Structure 1
């Protein structure tokens, strides 16, 4: 986990990646830039193979995939191109939008809940 404020019910961003993925490796410094630019948010870099038990049955088809949540409420789940400005714009747009309804994918819901519990206990 990257350093940031301890805000269990605040916004957090998890990057789901794989060590073998070249795009993920390219994205890491970009992700770190965004971390530095948003000190009030929690950020996680999560290798899905290292954390297979936590990820559970969730099938990640495109890397990197981002999860953004406010506490346990999912706000965004999807692939993200390695551009710091794109992620920063997405974070800003979520500030202006109402929360979305729960995910239709139970495995995604389970992962969001597990990550929220992990962040809350950190």
Structure 2
């Protein structure tokens, strides 16, 4: 008898952005392309100004864009929160590290984990042809 296959914990990658941000606008297509390459990962594009009520005060601490929040698990725990270079390779390496378990960081603590996970369910990026919200 073979051992049951363990199901990997769900991974969520959220880009916290602002509609006025030129860097975010330029990054939207890249983010969608990487999302399309990883159908097993939930990617979400979340405008922190449009969703400030749901995100609370911690969203006000985001000062640079694009900012990524990487979450893992059903009860999401944050693995990464920070500004990144808006390049596909950077995002791709981050996703691969999170999937491999090498992005786990006990130092990342954020009250945004729950609200972002909830918003991600409603703002999931489906693919490269998805218009930027």
What TM-score does the superposition give when structure 2 sets the normalisation length? 0.74
Determine which structure has more spread, i.e. the larger CA radius of gyration.
2
Distance 1:52 1:121, change over 3 A: closer
Distance 1:22 1:92, change over 3 A: same
Corresponding residue for 2:71?
Answer: 69
- Equivalent pairs, count: 110
5+ residue gaps, structure 1: 1-8
2:97 alignment partner, one of 84, 93, 99: 93
CA RMSD of aligned residues (A): 2.1
Please state which structure has a larger fraction of its residues in helix.
1
CA contact (8 A) 1:73 1:102 kept: no
Correspondences of 1:31-110 after superposition (within 5 Å): 31-58=31-58, 59-71=61-73, 72-94=76-98, 95-97=100-102, 99-101=104-106, 103-104=108-109, 109-110=110-111
User: Cα deviation per residue 1:42-100 (whole Å; 9 max; x = unaligned)?
Assistant: 01100000000122112111101000010211111111112111100111122241632
Q: Distance in 2 between matches of 1:120 and 1:19?
A: 20
Q: Distance in 2 between matches of 1:77 and 1:98?
A: 11
Distance 1:45 1:98, change over 3 A: closer
2:112 aligned with 1:111: yes
2:17 aligned with 1:17: yes
